[in-house]
A and B are shown apart, each in its own frame.
Chain A
């Protein structure tokens, strides 16, 4: 998985949990909370959907890694690739 593909995975999840938001111009280097109406429960949703849909675990200590699309990609891409290497 590339980092761009990883960002799309995260955007697909956000599209479901924040269905009123326009995601066409999300800036990858800006905190998601600064450009979208997302609260702490929504971030828990992102964590839950990563777990449900992709088997990815994000421990609470790493939640800050999900702040922006860029940080999501940096943090999650190796996890996705490690999972696909296992399977």
Chain B
């Protein structure tokens, strides 16, 4: 059976440096980062990527109060994506819409808040919120979007650590191909900056970035990189089967060309470049391409001293020296690590390259680590290129989950 072709028809996002694709892309080309200092409970001032979208654009005050930040981000991104794709939403059968949202984790924020709350009442659990369970169930972000949108089709999250954003898109493509749904909202979200635990965990792991200048803090591939900047964010796409998109005359951002997901099976936190390379190769093979056909590689690199080197090792193994048209960049240098949203956001930032033939750089590389030197690495300034027909997006996560997604220029 020939698989349906799956295309991207809409994008809704909020990132620490932009609340729409146009704003986000403009800042990626201008080198504008979005990192600031915020107060974290028990830890004081910390660097973080904060989103500044208006929740009340698509939610009531009560929805914001009762729901979670991840739910709010999901609603914002979903509504923006629907508006962007210009589908006749009112006429779309809502039982044929699927919502598939990748999350690194969910429930830490709400649990920490409740424990802090009852600490003010001598830990008496009768002060524990009755909203705790609906806020912390793992499907919360997708469930809040389904409530807001009236979607009665499947709506759930996909837990895949920091590979989750790609997983949302991959899973949606699979469900569309299976005929389970006719229209998908998919991608990833993160509310991680609202839990002290993730900051404290990375700090205990010696993996939390520090820098006097917040905008310089996230610096993958630079010799002075010293860890991750934790960020929140979200990016949801509308995905449709090509024939459906064409029937309604939709704008098409690109076509899902290939993907792969695998597992390291080697360590809780340390990446495995051999498995990463296998993942990248398998995605290229599935797309019917060769490494030299990939024009942009968006790296996962989070600016940890070891992790960046290992991903570069994997990329070197796949792309080597024989891929003169392959440009390599990174988005976390602008927005930090948006966790479950990272893969989806980082892909979005590169999609406009199909039209403007410009590769946004990775910024904050003042002194390139020789161990991260790769042919094609785009440093600090955007690069005009002759051709962008393919974008390969890496997203890797803890417990050794790797995901690679390839989107190609749409050609009927």
Residues of A within 8 A of B (CB): 17-20, 37, 41, 44-45, 48, 51-52
> CB-CB < 8 A to B130: which residues of A?
41, 44-45, 48
Query: Which one of A20, A48, A51 contacts B62 once the chains associate, using CB atoms below 8 Å?
Result: A20
> CB-CB < 8 A to A44: which residues of B?
130
> CB-CB < 8 A to B38: which residues of A?
none
| Residue contacts A-B, CB under 8 angstroms, 22 given | A17-B62, A17-B65, A18-B62, A19-B61, A19-B62, A19-B65, A20-B60, A20-B61, A20-B62, A37-B62, A41-B66, A41-B130, A41-B131, A44-B130, A45-B130, A48-B127, A48-B129, A48-B130, A51-B126, A51-B127, A52-B121, A52-B127
Residues of B within 8 A of A (CB): 60-62, 65-66, 121, 126-127, 129-131
Closest 9 CB pairs of A and B: A19-B61, A44-B130, A20-B60, A20-B61, A20-B62, A18-B62, A19-B62, A52-B127, A41-B130
Report the bound CA distance from A48 to B130 in whole Å: 9
| Distance in Å: Cβ of B118 to nearest Cβ of chain A | 10
> CB-CB < 8 A to B66: which residues of A?
41
> CB-CB < 8 A to B61: which residues of A?
19-20
Report the bound CA distance from A37 to B60 in whole Å: 12
> CB-CB < 8 A to A17: which residues of B?
62, 65
> CB-CB < 8 A to A48: which residues of B?
127, 129-130
Main secondary structure of the interface of A (DSSP, over half): helix
Report the bound CA distance from A37 to B66 in whole Å: 14
| Distance in Å: Cβ of A67 to nearest Cβ of chain B | 19
Q: Which residue of B lies closest to A41 (CB)?
A: B130
Task: For the A-B complex with A20-B61, A44-B130, A48-B127 known, give 4 more contacts whose Cβ atoms are closer than 8 Å.
Answer: A20-B62, A37-B62, A45-B130, A48-B129
| Distance in Å: Cβ of B148 to nearest Cβ of chain A | 14
> CB-CB < 8 A to A51: which residues of B?
126-127
| Distance in Å: Cβ of A4 to nearest Cβ of chain B | 26
| Distance in Å: Cβ of B35 to nearest Cβ of chain A | 31
Q: Which residue of A lies closest to B124 (CB)?
A: A51
Q: Which residue of B lies closest to A21 (CB)?
A: B62
| Distance in Å: Cβ of B382 to nearest Cβ of chain A | 44
| Distance in Å: Cβ of A63 to nearest Cβ of chain B | 13
Report the bound CA distance from A48 to B126 in whole Å: 9
| Distance in Å: Cβ of A35 to nearest Cβ of chain B | 16
> CB-CB < 8 A to A19: which residues of B?
61-62, 65
Q: Which residue of A lies closest to B128 (CB)?
A: A48
Q: Which residue of B lies closest to A52 (CB)?
A: B127
Q: Which residue of A lies closest to B63 (CB)?
A: A20
Report the bound CA distance from A51 to B60 in whole Å: 26
> CB-CB < 8 A to B65: which residues of A?
17, 19
Of A19, A20, A41, which is in contact with the most chain B CB atoms at under 10 Å from its CB?
A: A20
| Distance in Å: Cβ of B113 to nearest Cβ of chain A | 14
Report the bound CA distance from A19 to B121 in whole Å: 25
> CB-CB < 8 A to B121: which residues of A?
52
| Distance in Å: Cβ of A8 to nearest Cβ of chain B | 21
| Distance in Å: Cβ of A12 to nearest Cβ of chain B | 15
> CB-CB < 8 A to B127: which residues of A?
48, 51-52
